[in-house]
Structures are given as structure tokens and as C-alpha cells.
Amino acid sequence: MKNATDDAIMKSFILFCFLLLASGQIFAAEASEKLTKLLDEIWQYELSISPRFATSMGVHDYDDQLADISPQALARQAEVFSTFMQRLNALDVEALTRDEQITLLMQKYRVQNDIDSYRFNAHYVPLTSEYGFHGSLGGLANSTRFKTAEDYQNYLARLSLFPRQFSQHIAYMKKGMEVGMVQPAVVLQGFEDGIKSYFAEPVEQSRFYKPFTEGAILEFEDDVREKLQAKAFKVIQDDVYPSYQSFYTFFTEQYQPNAKQDISALTWPDGEAYYQNRVEYYTTTSMSFDDIHELGLQEVARIRAQMQQIVDELEFEGDINDFIEFLRTDPQFYAKTADELLMFASYVSKQMDAQLPKLFYKLPRTPYGVAPVPDSIAPKYTTGRYVSPRRDDQPGYYWVNTYALDKRPLYAIPALTLHEAVPGHHLQISLSRELDDLPEVRRYTYISAFGEGWGLYSEYLGKEVGIYKTPYEEFGRLSYEMWRAARLVVDTGMHTKGWSRDKAMKFMLENTALSELNVNTEIDRYISWPAQALSYKIGELEIKALRKEAEAALGDKFDLRAFHDALLAYGSVPLSVLRENIGLFISDQ
């Protein structure tokens, strides 16, 4: 029989448990509040130092500014980001919910990249083979709000800052020349033509003046409109065009003649550490570049065997290489006009749109369009790309490269479309941005291994819903998968194993059905953008492995639509987090 002492002990124990639970809840609430406040502080700081990014996020406090990238500003920013990292590391991780822990990890990923980019002097090389700071500034009008006279004044204020922005970038490129951190000469051939295109037209016909000939300005009072147009003409003539001219002169007379002759990133200062850092950043793994190279060779052999099956099915006389040459040279596989290519890409897009309900329960609100790659960058640009909305009143765009039509095979368009549009980048990125209950760092951070892995997996999904209508289109899909597998080999080969550009070219030409023009463009991209190309295959292999595990674990209960929704439910995340997410999905099912 219990006595009073026992009752007192029991009551004390219950009270102790209650207080322990309450204190835990208090600690959790405090940790959550600290994280929320720090996330907002970091986000607001990023907006303040990246005015154009702020504009794209709908924050218009800095619409008359461009980023200050002076040495003093970058040093100050690096110090601030280091302090942010210290504060993030000091948070009590155990007191956070799992979702908050993912957010913390994402914020660290983002801040660490800012720290690493400064540490390795990435600002010394503000261009790749296909793009650069000048191209980003060249698209300023497309990312600007034009509704009021103040909007136009803010745009003109930004244009007037071009001389400062260009001179700062040129100063860093000169610093890069001093320390040997420059792009290889081979990837810069013809780059000057792209620079020249930004100041080649009369001012009234330039992309910078276009906002003053259409849109809201036409509704303004005559005197207001005429004053803005006159000021625009003067700013473009006196500030914008001279900035591009000075960059063109510097590039052709100093930078290009002093570009390095080798192609490996390892010859840059601290190059090996930088390359491994980029490997880990883009793949979100700790894989070594040696392991990635071997994985690539294994994947190439596997996919080549599947390609051989199609050659055998078609009873083609010759081996795979003969078949690839046939695909590259037969006119039946190529569009005659740019409109024909764009119309076919649009048709495939709509075909896939109709299949999405079979693959997903949740679809994005944001629409997308199909458009050609701009002429100014098309000659050295990749075959296609997704471009996210730059304002809240814009769609996403699936860009198709219509330059050199005889090098853009129609049999590759289905795979390209599924990767860049739906169910690939447009669907994944739009869903991530529409996760309104998540903080901005989760919605707007793009993790390449996840996003590009999803894009490559999306190409495979087309096979399951009947998008590939002919053996040639299926071969095109396999060729695109081979393209991503070959990247693992040639990227690591050129940067870490002494491969020449010619050796990498030969490897790609022998194992993919890409045209020689495409292979040229791609090889230069891998040389000038180290390790980014590794993310595609690494991410896709992990997604396919997780699906296989879910199918095996759930059997008849496996729901493909639910699985896809679970993959995308947390936004763009590192592969380790993705694996945990799917583990929870399997348990919940």
C-alpha cells in the first residue's frame, strides 16, 4: 500500500518531467527564434550588397544601385560572412526541428561559398567561355521594373554606374594576370565578338535604349517622356558604350594575348584545393576527383552498351561511331529554319505538359515560354538552358539555341526539353520558389547536384510516359545521358590528369551523338567552369538509387507521384539531406 512519501515522490517526479519538458520547449523556441532572426539578417545583408538580386526578389530599395565590388567592399563582405558563419555554428542544432536543421545547413552552404569564392579569388576571373559580367549587365533592362518615371530614373542611374563596374572588373582581371589566374586562350577564341555586339548598334537601336521606345513610357506626358529619352541617349552614349569599348580594348589588347596556354585549373594559385572545393560544392559530396573519374568511365561503358542495342535494332551497317557520324551528317535530322526548331521544341513541351499529372500531384503556378538564345551569346552558348523569371510578372523561359541549325539535331530536342523545361528545371525551380512557408534561403538557393540531377532524371521520365517516339529520339536520350557521364571523365581528365583538349574532344565525339560544334562549346565550358559539370550525373545516380530503394521497400504501396512530390517537397537540398528525406518518406508510407 502506497504511503504519503510515495505520493510525494511521484508528484515530484511528475513535476520534474513537466519542468524538463517545458524547459526543452523554451530552449527550442529560443533556438528557433535565434535562427529566424539570423536568417533574416543574412538575407537583408545579401540584398543590400546585391542590388540587382534585390530587384529580382521584388525589393526596390536599391533599384538605382549596382553592387560595389571594390577591394575594400569585398574584404568587408568576406569579414561579415565569416562572422555570420561563426554565429551560425554557435546555434544549438539539437534544439532545432529537423526542418530548421535543413535550413541551417542550407544557410551555411550558401555563406561558405561566399567565403570560399573570396578566399580563392574567384572575382579575378569574372567570365567563362560562354558568359561574363558584361553579359549580365547587358540584360539589365530585362530584370528592371518599368512602371513609373522613377523606375526609368533608377534604371538610368544604374546605367551611369557602368564605368565604375567595368573598371572594377577589369582591375581584378589585371590582378589575375599578375598571379596567373586567367582563362586559357583556347576558350576565349571569338569571345570578343560577343563583347562588341553590346555597342555595335546605334544608340536608338540598342538593347539599353529599348525600354524608352515601348511600354509604360509611351503613356507619359510628352515633356516627361522626351526628357527621359534624351537622358537615356546621353547616358548610353557617354557611359554605357564607352564602358563596353574599354572592356573590348582591354580584352583584345591585354587579356587575350596573355591568356594561359594550359587548360587545367590546377595551374591557378592553390589550384588543386580550389578544384576539390568546387567538386564538393557542386556535388555536395566528399568524393575525390579520382573516384569521380572512375565512376564516369563505368557509366560510359554501361550507356554505350545500351546505345549499341538501338544500332542493332535498326540493323544499321556499321558500329556506333559510324551510326553517330550518320546522325551528325544526314539532313533529315535537322531543322531548316529557326522557327522550325523552336516549334518542335514547343510541341515537345506541350506533349510533356499533358503527361505531368501522371507523374506529380503538385504542379507549379508559374508558366514558362520557349524562346531562342539571344544572338549576342548564341555562337559560344550551350545548346539550351532554363532561365528563371527575373521579376514577379515574368514567366520562366526554356531557351533553345538556334545558331548553326545544322548542328542542332531534332532527335536530341525531346531530352533537352524535358531537362530544361518540364519536368526538369522549370518545374523543380518553380515549385521550390513557391514553397511560401520556407525561408528565402531555402526557396532561392540552387544546389547543382540536386537541380541538375533532377534535370537528367527528368530526361529518363520521358521514356516512361512515351515522349521518345522513334529509336533515333531514344538514341538522342541515351546520347544526352552519355554526355553527362562523359563529363565526369573529361572534366576531371583535363583538370587533374593532364588530358589535352584534343583528347577530351575525341572522347566526347566517340561516345556521344553531339555535333562537333556542341562538343567544342561544351569542352570549353568545362575548362572555364571547373567541376560544375560533375553535378549532373552524380545527382541523377543518387535520385535513381533512392527511387529503386523506395520501390523495393514499398512494393505495391509505391506511388510514383507521391515519391516525386517527396523529392521536391523540401526545395533544393544537398544529396545527403535528400537521402534522409526519402528515408522518412518510406517510413511514412
Q: What is the block-wise mean pLDDT of the chain (589 residues), using blocks of 10 residues? A: 65 60 66 97 98 95 98 98 98 96 97 98 97 95 95 98 98 98 97 95 97 96 97 98 98 98 97 97 96 98 97 94 94 97 98 98 97 91 91 92 95 97 98 95 96 98 97 96 97 98 96 90 96 98 98 98 98 97 96
The answer on 133 and 111 residing in a single domain is no
In a domain, 424, yes or no: yes
The answer to whether 120 and 270 have CB atoms below 8 angstroms apart is: yes
Identify the domain containing residue 239 by its residue range.
Answer: 125-261
The answer on 293 and 425 residing in a single domain is yes
Residues 70-75: contacts with CB within 8 Å, 24+ apart?
70/168, 73/49, 74/118, 74/123
Q: How far apart are CA 375 and CA 351, in angstroms?
A: 28
In a domain, 552, yes or no: no
Evaluated on CA atoms 363, 367, 371, 373, the torsion sign reads: negative
| Predicted local distance difference test score (pLDDT) of residue 27 | 66
Per DSSP (E only), the strands in 348-486 are 368-372, 384-387, 396-400
In a domain, 565, yes or no: no
The answer on 192 and 328 residing in a single domain is no
The answer on 175 and 215 residing in a single domain is yes
In a domain, 50, yes or no: yes
The answer on 471 and 325 residing in a single domain is yes
Q: How far apart are CA 256 and CA 197, in angstroms?
A: 18
Show which of 506, 526, 542 is a domain's final residue. 542
Closest by CA to 441, choosing from 195, 114, 203, 123, is: 114
| Predicted local distance difference test score (pLDDT) of residue 3 | 64
Q: How far apart are CA 283 and CA 241, in angstroms?
A: 39
Peptide bond into 414 cis (omega under 30): no
- Whether the pTM exceeds 0.85: the reply is yes
| Predicted local distance difference test score (pLDDT) of residue 455 | 98
Half-sphere exposure for 408 (CA within 13 Å, toward CB): 28
* Cell numbers linked to 436: 511560401
In a domain, 576, yes or no: no
The three-state (H, E, C) secondary structure of 456-482, written as one string: HHHHHHHHHCCCCCCHHHHHHHHHHHH
In a domain, 295, yes or no: yes
The answer to whether 379 and 194 have CB atoms below 8 angstroms apart is: yes
The answer on 518 and 435 residing in a single domain is yes
Q: How far apart are CA 505 and CA 520, in angstroms?
A: 7
The answer on 496 and 366 residing in a single domain is yes
Q: Which amino acid is at 322?
A: D
The answer on 144 and 252 residing in a single domain is yes
* Cell numbers linked to 546: 533512392
Show which of 207, 239, 261 is a domain's final residue. 261
Show which of 200, 228, 261 is a domain's final residue. 261
Closest by CA to 452, choosing from 534, 363, 566, is: 534
Strands of the sheet with 396-400, listed across from one edge: 368-372, 396-400, 384-387
The answer on 245 and 99 residing in a single domain is no
Q: What are phi and psi for residue 330, nearest 5 degrees?
A: -85, 125
Q: Which amino acid is at 529?
A: W
Alpha carbon 178 to chain centroid, angstroms = 30
Find all residues with CB under 8 Å of 221, minimum gap 6, and list them: none
* DSSP 8-state secondary structure symbol assigned to residue 387: E
Find all residues with CB under 8 Å of 142, minimum gap 6, and list them: 390
In a domain, 555, yes or no: no
Instruction: Provide the number of structural domains found in the chain.
Output: 3
Q: Find cell 535530322 and name the residue.
A: 333
The answer on 362 and 324 residing in a single domain is yes
Q: Which helix (H) or strand (E) holds 294?
A: helix 289-313
| Predicted local distance difference test score (pLDDT) of residue 19 | 52
In a domain, 572, yes or no: no
The answer on 449 and 311 residing in a single domain is yes
The answer on 336 and 233 residing in a single domain is no
The answer to whether 491 and 530 have CB atoms below 8 angstroms apart is: yes
